Structure 1
Amino acid sequence: MTDADQTTDADHPILRTRGVGFVRNGRTILDEIDFEVRAGEHWALIGANGVGKSTILSMLGAVVHPSRGTVDVLGKRLGRVDLRELRGLIGHVNPRHQVRSPLSVRDIVLTGVTGTTERMLRWEPTPEQSERAERLIDLLGMRELADATWPNLSQGERGRALIARALQPDPHLLLLDEPSTGLDIAAREHLLDRIDGLRMEHPDLASVLVTHHLEELPASTTHALLIRDGRIVAQGLADDVLTSELISATLDYPLTLTRTDGRWAVRTAR
C-alpha cells in the first residue's frame, strides 16, 4: 500500500509532517518541522508574528507544498494526490475569507459544499446538504441570523458563519487561522464557547488552531506546538507544553502563564 492509499485509523494519524522545511525568496521560513495530529486531538500552534505558523497551516490545508520533507494529510501525501480532492476533506477557516456578494448566512454555509465563495449558477443543494447546513447554523448559534446578509454581520458572527461553512462537507480536519482576530471580548468568548461545543459534538474531529494570544485558546485544546524562528521549541500535551518557561523561551520575553477553569492567561513575569 502506498502513502497515497493510506486511510486514517489508529495507526495512521490525521496529519504527519517529517523534516518539513519551507523557503521563500531565499529565506528559510520553516526548518525541520516534525509533528503528528490524531483524531480527536485539538492542537494550538503558538508563536510570535512571522515565525511560520500560517505557513504550516497552509501546508496542512493542502494550499502550499513544502520545499523539503513530507506532509501527509488524511493518509494522502502532498505531491501524490489530487489537491482538489484532498481539500474537500479539510475545513479551513480563514478570517480573511472574501465574500463579495451580499450572501445570507445560509448561502455562505452552503458554499462549503462547492468550495466556492459564491453560490454556483444553476446549482442547488440536496435535501441532505440543506438539512446539514441548518444543523450547523443551529450548532454555531446562528439560527436567528440565518437570513442575515454578510455586510450586516459583525466580525464575530462572520467567524461563526465561516466555521459552519468549513464544517458543511463533514471534514475530518478543521484548521482555524487566528479565528478571534478583530473580535471584542464578548464576541471572542462567544466564538470560543462555540468551538468548545462543536468539538464535543464531533468527538472524532481533529483541529489545528493558529494564534499568538494564549487567551484565545479554547478550553478544549489538548495539545500545543510552540514555534520560534521557524523551528519547534516544544510540542505535546497542552498542560506539559504551555508553561511559563517554554512560553517565555518561545516569545523571547519573561512571562508567567496560568490556567484557570481550562483557560490560559499570561502576564509579565516579576
Structure 2
Amino acid sequence: MGVRLDRVSFRINGTSILDDVSAQLPTGSVTGLLGPNGAGKSTLLRLVAGLDTPDSGQVELDGAALHNLTRRETARRVALLEQNAAPSVDLSVREVVLLGRIPHRSRLLGGFGGEDDHRVAEESLAMVGGSALAARLWHTLSGGEQQRVQIARALAQRPSLLLLDEPTNHLDVSAQLGLLGQVRALGLTAIMALHDLNLAAAYCDRILLLHRGRLVAVGTPAEVLVPEIIDEVYGVDSDIVAHPRGGHPVIVFCAVADPAHPPQARKSSNDPETGSSR
C-alpha cells in the first residue's frame, strides 16, 4: 500500500510550512521530493518519519495511521537519513552501521551487538557495496563512502520505507550516480528530497513538487517536469529532450536574461569594429 499523505498541514509559530498536501506513493516506488529552498521538503520527510506531527491531516504507512504507532514501531518501519547525519564520535564503519539496530534492542538485554545484529550489519554493508569498509574509521572515508555507510546504517533498521534528505549533497558526479543507482536497486519504497531535477528524472518513478508549502504537481517525471511547471516553480526557462540512452526527460535550462544588461546584437561578418569574419 505504500505511503499515503492525507491533507497534511504543518505550522511553526503560526507560519504555514506545509498546506493540505495529499499524495499516494505505491509500495516499492522511488519518489523524488522536489522544490526550491524553503518549499517544505525536509519538513515533509520529518512528518513521514514520525519525528514531527501534522497540525491537521495524517500520514499512513501501509494502511496504518502513523500517529497510532509507537515511536519504536515507527523506527523499525521507517529509516530517515537526514543531512549531515554524522556520528558525534569517531566510530568504525561497522559500529556506525550497528547504530541502525537500536530500534531492535531487547529491553531485557539492554543492548545490541550480538550475532544477529552483526549479521544484519554485514548484510546491510554488502547491499551498498561497502563490505570492504567495515574496519575503517569514519573520518577516513570520502564523502561518497560516508553516504554509502549511512544508507547501510538505515538499512540495518530493516525498514519498509527509506527517507533521504539531499543524499547527493557534496558528492561528485560519479558518487551521485552510484548512490542513487544503489537506492533504486534496493527495491524499497523510498522518498528522496533532491535539488537536481535531472537526477530526479533519471532515478525516480514519481515526483512530488512542492512550492511554498503546497503540492504543485505529482506524477511521473515526464508528467511533472515540463517547461510550464518548471517556470512556475523555479522561475527559469527550459526545454525538455529525451535522454539518448535511457529515454527519460532531460531538462535543458536556459540562461536567465538580465533586464539591466540586455544581450548585445551580434556583429556582422564585415563589421569594421571587430575586423572578424564569421
1:254 aligns with 2:237: yes
Q: Which amino acid aligns with 1:49?
A: N
CA distance 1:241–1:52, shift in 2 (3 Å)? same
Which residue of structure 2 aligns with residue 237 of structure 1? 220
TM-score of the superposed pair, with normalisation by structure 2: 0.82
TM-score calculated relative to the size of structure 1: 0.84
Q: Note the 1:1-270 alignment, pairs <5 A.
A: 13-115=1-103, 123-198=111-186, 202=187, 205-217=188-200, 219-260=202-243, 261-262=245-246, 265-269=250-254
Amino acid at match of 1:32: D
CA contact (8 A) 1:214 1:264 kept: no
Aligned residues: 249
Structure 1: gaps (5+ residues): 1-12
- Which amino acid in 1 is paired with 2:228? E
Conserved 8 A contact 2:35-2:209: yes
Q: Alignment partner of 2:45: what SS? A: helix
Contact 1:217 1:264 in 2 (8 A): no
- Unaligned runs of 5+ residues in structure 2 are 256-278
1:206-239 Cα distance to aligned partner (Å, 9 max, x none): 1111012123337341111111111111101222
Indicate if the aligned counterparts of 2:201 and 2:250 stay in contact, CA closer than 8 A: no
Q: Distance in 2 between matches of 1:95 and 1:230?
A: 20
Counterparts in 2 of 1:132 and 1:93: CA distance versus 1, 3 Å: same
Q: Is the 8 A contact 2:165 2:193 kept in 1?
A: yes
* Partner SS state of residue 141, structure 1: coil
Choose 211-220 or 58-67, whichever is displaced more. Answer: 211-220
Amino acid at match of 2:174: A
Q: Which has the larger radius of gyration?
A: 2
Q: Give the superposed CA RMSD.
A: 2.2
In 1, distance between residues paired with 2:184 and 2:5?
A: 26
CA distance in 2: counterparts of 1:46 and 1:184, whole angstroms = 20
Q: Following superposition, which runs of at least 4 residues in structure 1 exceed 6 angstroms of deviation?
A: none
Of all paired residues, the percent bearing the same amino acid is 32
- Distance apart, 1:243 and its partner CA: 2.1
CA distance in 2, matches of 1:158, 1:180: 11
Alignment partner, residue 6 of structure 1: none
